[in-house]
Amino acid sequence: MHSFANPTRFLRLTRALQPWAAGVALVCLAAGLYFSLFASPADYQQSETVRIMYVHVPAAWMAMFCYVAMAAGSASFLIWRHRVADLVAKATAPIGASFTFLALVTGSLWGKPMWGTWWVWDARLTSVLILFFLYLGYMALYNAFDDQARGARAASVLALVGVVNVPIIKFSVDWWNTLHQPASVVRLDGPSIHPSMLTPLLLMAVGYTAFYAWVLFLRVRTEFAAEKIRALRFRQAAVPPARELKSQEG
């Protein structure tokens, strides 16, 4: 993986993978929405409200996945000083925050008819809210310093400290008495959910993952371009114009 720390090689890879990621995202999201809205049956208890699950659950998965990716990039940056890893972590933060916000909103929309309230201080809900604040804290801390390197290091440390919240989200249902149901897809004895509901759920999950990759590639390339522009401006500011040089010589 160290070979991809080379910016030129990494950008070449992203240019090759970006159209594939966009295509997979488009196909899987379109198919997932079709199965979610039309082909899958309504739940005998939740009725049509169950269709929120096909947006909510993959968004919650991606919220945790993006944070782990951000923490991994931050660790690589702190240990090996890989600038590419830092930019990947920086580019991941707003995407992960968006998925987390989507999970919180759709969870509230589902909770109102099911639990009778928009919000409860459930262990999983609270830990996901903390995850959202960690994303916001990372982005705020990254831009809080005039020295970009200091901001990157401080934000990376926060990302690594906050990664302890991810297993809390995952196992909160098992550790505490919460309103959320236990895992029904990733189980040692296989999924307990019916294939008619599992199919759109997995299609949406693959579509979300491909969408993350597509947007990530776009954002990383934008970050590299912004760094080149910033470096060029610094060089121009450091070198006096030719007319000023001649006047100084005279």
Which of 61-75, 133-147, 225-239 is least confident? 225-239
**Cα distances (angstroms) measured from residue 248 to each of 226, 235, 243:** 33, 20, 9
Q: Which residues pair with 47 in a beta bridge?
A: 43
For range 79-105, the mean pLDDT = 96
Q: Which pLDDT value is given to residue 184?
A: 57
Query: What is the distance, to the nearest Å, from the Cα of residue 25 to the centroid of all Cα atoms in its chain?
Result: 15
Confidence of residue 122 (pLDDT cuts 50, 70, 90): confident
Please give the pLDDT value at position 146.
Answer: 85
The per-residue pLDDT for 117 is 85
Q: pLDDT by residue (tens digit) across 95-107? A: 999 999 999 999 9
pLDDT at 191 over 70: no
Mean pLDDT (the chain, rounded)? 87
Determine the Cα–Cα distance for residues 105 and 99; give it in Å rounded to an integer: 10
Residue whose pair of structure tokens reads 């040089």 in the numeric block: 245
What's the whole-number mean pLDDT along residues 89-100?
Answer: 98
- The pLDDT score that the predictor gives to residue 180 is 61
**DSSP per residue over 198-223, as a string?**
HHHHHHHHHHHHHHHHHHHHHHHHHH
How many other CB atoms are there within 10 angstroms of residue 159's CB atom? Answer: 28
Q: Measuring CA to CA, which residue among 31, 52, 62 is closest to residue 215?
A: 62
Whether pLDDT at 41 is above 70: yes
Query: What is the pLDDT at residue 185?
Result: 55
The confidence band for 189, taking pLDDT boundaries of 50, 70 and 90, is: very low
